[in-house]
Amino acid sequence: MFENLSDRLGSVFDRLTKQGALSEDDVKTALREVRVALLEADVSLPVVRNFVKSVEKKATGAAVTKSITPGQQVVKIVHDELIEVLRGEGEPGELRIGSAPAPILMVGLQGGGKTTTTAKLAKRLTERDKKKVLMASLDVQRPAAMEQLAVLGTQIGVDTLPIVKGEDPVAIAKRAKTQASLGGYDVYMLDTAGRLSIDEELMAQVEAVRDVTSPRETLLVVDGLTGQDAVHTAENFDERIGISGVVLTRMDGDGRGGAALSMRAITGKPIKFVGLGEKMDALETFEPERVAGRILGMGDIVALVEKAQQTLEAEQAERMMKRFQKGQFNMNDLKMQLEQMQKMGGMEGMMSMMPGMGKMAKQMEGAGIDDTMLRRQVALINSMTKKERANPALLQASRKKRIAKGSGLEVSELNKLLKQQRQMGDMMKKMGKGGMLKQAMSGMF
């Protein structure tokens, strides 16, 4: 999949990574090529624009580690951005099955791979998730479609609802529901009829089926090679029926593959699976990391940059520990610590992670040690100059007053903060002697 896209991007970055230093112009030129490559892959324009803008911003501000070239750094940034766009926001793409029997509604246009995907998914649920699955075809327009599902069912060893001639889709759906309850099935899958294009009759039919079954998942199966058309189809189905996720088929072909990149950003719906062939096990969970890797095809460079970053972090941690052991704990260190606490959800968040500490967190909150305080303390540190942060002993009474005023706080609060910083220094020194510091810090990085 994505062959054209990955070839295109690959050659852009090949040129880039061979150079040593990289100018802003080089990045701009490379990004122009990225833009063309994405557009050629039929990624929608707003998505391309955002993508390029975001990479440019990150590439300009990125700190480059000594052991890697700026070009390699850009590859990594593009890689991470691809993952971000593919993953999107909101819940991950897992299936919600829940209590039995769970209805899964399969919708889409004709020829998109709906029947094949229904069977592939049934096989996966049976074999991997140990679910008892029933499949039913609601395609009354094409009797061959019902036969097709029955044949696939036999092939993969999954039950299909017996075919009753002359029944309408809603009646079949109701029968599938009853059969699923009586037969002790965990899941029943409804393969609806497709059309060549979206039409009113099709939508009304799917809607009626949806209303009698209340599906746990409504999956749109769509041909991934159709690029932006696939995204439009998803928008249309979602507006009318409400879909919970998308399955992109034919991702084994060497087509443009841009649908994967646009889908989440435009529709807000997760891609849950990708179809990678006609065989019954050619279905994969959609994993942004893997897909981004395939698009870029530069896994070795990404790994190299990751390793270099880790080394850099380890070196920084080592230097920091050496300082701490000597009792050198300045305001920058305190700020980092306070911010880390904020990230963990403040005092209460941190304590609630430890069993039996919830109550204590409440008490501490009562004593004024809470999120607001953390924020205030960070604000105080931000008001100090670089020199003062590195060496808070420099702070004279007049500066203290100014800093406190600048943050809208009392000098007493600043004094409290300074005391805290000194105490932390002393504690670090003591811990450093006993080897406890190393232990504590290994958990931090």
- Helix, strand, coil percent content, the chain, rounded in steps of 5: 60, 10, 30
Q: Check whether 109 is labelled as a binding-site residue.
A: yes
Please state, in angstroms and rounded to a whole number, the distance separating the CA atoms of residues 21 and 18. 10
Residue 251 assigned as binding residue: yes
Which CB sits closer to ligand GDP, 151 or 444? 151
**252 touches ligand GDP by CB under 6 A:** yes
DSSP E strand stretches across 251-291 = 271-275, 283-285
Annotation-wise, does 108 bind a ligand? yes
Q: Does 250 show up as a binding residue in the annotation?
A: yes
Does residue 233 bind ligand GDP (CB under 6 A)? Answer: no
* Among positions 172, 276, 320, 404, the unique one binding ligand GDP when judged by CB under 6 A: 276
Q: Is 1 annotated as a binding residue?
A: no
Nearer to ligand GDP, 252 or 339 (CB): 252
Q: How far is the CB of 323 from ligand GDP (least distance, A)?
A: 56
- In total, the chain counts a number of residues equal to 445
Tell me the chain's radius of gyration from C-alpha atoms. Answer: 29
Has 180 been labeled as part of a binding site?
no
Q: Does residue 267 bind ligand GDP (CB under 6 A)?
A: no
Q: Pick out residues in 404-443 that bind ligand GDP (CB under 6 A).
A: none
- Tell me if 263 is assigned to a ligand binding site: no
Return the number of the residue (115 or 383) whose C-beta is nearest ligand GDP. 115
Contact 252, 120 (CB under 8 A): no
DSSP string covering 113-179: SHHHHHHHHHHHHHHTS---EEEEE---S-HHHHHHHHHHHHHHT-EEPPP-TT--HHHHHHHHHHH
Q: Number of C-alpha atoms within 13 angstroms, CB side, residue 269? A: 29
For ligand GDP, the closer of residues 10 and 277 by Cβ is: 277
Closer to ligand GDP by Cβ: residue 221 or 341: 221
CA angle 171/177/181 to nearest 5° reads 145
d(CA 392, CA 376): 17
Angle value at C-alpha 388, between 385 and 394, nearest 5 degrees = 135
| 277: contact with ligand GDP by CB under 6 A | yes
Query: Does 192 show up as a binding residue in the annotation?
Result: yes
Q: Mask 152-191, x = binds ligand GDP (CB under 6 A)?
A: ----------------------------------------
**CA quadruple 58, 60, 61, 63: dihedral positive or negative?**
positive
Window 314-373: residues binding ligand GDP (CB under 6 A): none
The span of 56-64, 201-209, 230-238, 245-253 binding ligand GDP (CB under 6 A) equals 245-253
CB of 213 to ligand GDP, least distance (A): 19
Stretch that binds ligand GDP, among 1-9, 276-284, 314-322, 428-436 (CB under 6 A): 276-284
Going from the C-alpha of 326 to that of each of 134, 319, 331, 433, the distances in angstroms are 68, 11, 15, 9
CB 224 to ligand GDP: min, Å:
8
110 among annotated binding-site residues: yes
For residues 87 and 290, is the Cβ–Cβ distance under 8 A? Answer: no
Convert residues 96-135 into a mask of x (bound to ligand GDP by CB under 6 A) and - (unbound): ------------x-xxxxxxx-------------------
- Taking the mean position of all CA atoms in its chain, how far away is CA 374? 29
Sole binder of ligand GDP in the list 88, 258, 275, 425 (CB under 6 A):
275
195 marked as part of a ligand binding site: yes
Q: What is the DSSP string of 329-376?
A: --HHHHHHHHHHHHHTTHHHHHHHTSTT-HHHHHHHHHTT-SHHHHHH
Binding residue for ligand GDP (CB under 6 A) from 210, 250, 269, 335? Answer: 250
User: Binding residue for ligand GDP (CB under 6 A) from 88, 93, 169, 194?
Assistant: 194
Determine, following the binding rule CB under 6 A, whether residue 249 of this chain makes contact with ligand GDP.
yes
Listed ranges 70-78, 130-138, 275-283, 376-384: which one lies at the site for ligand GDP (CB under 6 A): 275-283
Helix (H) or strand (E) holding 247: strand 245-249
Q: How many residues bind ligand GDP (CB under 6 A)?
A: 17
C-alpha angle 358/362/364, rounded to 5°?
115
- Closest distance to ligand GDP from the beta carbon of 117 (Å): 6
Pairing mode of beta strands 271-275, 245-249: parallel
Does the annotation list 375 as a binding residue? no
Residue showing tokens 């706080």: 409
Task: Kindly state whether residue 226 participates in binding ligand GDP, applying the rule CB under 6 A.
Answer: no
Q: Which helix (H) or strand (E) holds 105?
A: strand 102-107
Residues belonging to the binding site for GTP are 108-115, 191-195, 249-252
Sites of contact with ligand GDP (CB under 6 A): 108, 110-116, 194, 249-250, 252, 275-278, 282
